[in-house]
Amino acid sequence: MLNPTDKQMLARLVYRCALWVSLADERGGPQAQNIEERVLKRSLQDLYRKLPKDSDEREILGITLSNTTHWHRGWSDNLINLIPELKNRRDIITPTIALMILDLSRDVATAFRERSALSSLAIQVTVATRKIFSKLNPDLTPQEYANISVNEKAALHELADALGITGYLL
């Protein structure tokens, strides 16, 4: 069981990681950021409802959701320090929490299409074809996969590495 200070810190990291991935590609400007924040909030709420009532993960998500007023003041500061911060706190980031953070961050990355319509269509066709002929089927739809920009993919891979998740496939 985690202590209250660790849960608060992890709740803050859940938001910071998702925001960090969102800011990896700033094309789309404030509109993209608003959409990605709404998706994050909805994903947090959905996951919160699915988790067992007595789990640390549910409590961490509850703290994240109850602190939305801090998202833009305090929790979003110094994102340049996020990766070292994660590496320094690996002692309390369980594999379950790490996967939860990565999944929520991926939800944010799929929320807004930063690429052109032609580029997006080409990626959707490529992913759909790969799903037909490959044994490694990604759990994202071709449309979701096309929404993730190159910068967001790189950020997700860097985040996975910092969280200690090896072999992360997008």
Residues 7/56, Cβ–Cβ less than 8 Å: yes
Domain of residue 119: give its range.
Answer: 115-148
Give pLDDT, residue 118. Answer: 44
Specify the range with the lowest mean pLDDT, choosing from 7-16, 59-68, 125-134.
Answer: 125-134
State both tokens at 100.
């939860």
The chain-wide mean pLDDT, for the chain, equals 81
Torsion angles phi and psi, residue 57, rounded to 5: -60, -45
What does the pLDDT average to over 23-41?
Answer: 79
User: Is residue 45 a part of any domain in this protein?
Assistant: yes
Indicate the number of domains in the chain: 2
Distance CA 146, CA 111 (A): 10
Residue with tokens 């860097």: 158
Higher local confidence (pLDDT), 78 or 114: 78
What does the pLDDT average to over 112-128?
Answer: 46
Residues 30/94, Cβ–Cβ less than 8 Å: no
Distance CA 100, CA 26 (A): 24
| Same domain flag for 49 and 133 | no
State both tokens at 57.
């993960």
User: Is residue 100 a part of any domain in this protein?
Assistant: yes
Angle at 157 (CA atoms; ends 151, 158), nearest 5 degrees = 90
pTM tops 0.85, yes or no? no
User: Is residue 130 a part of any domain in this protein?
Assistant: yes
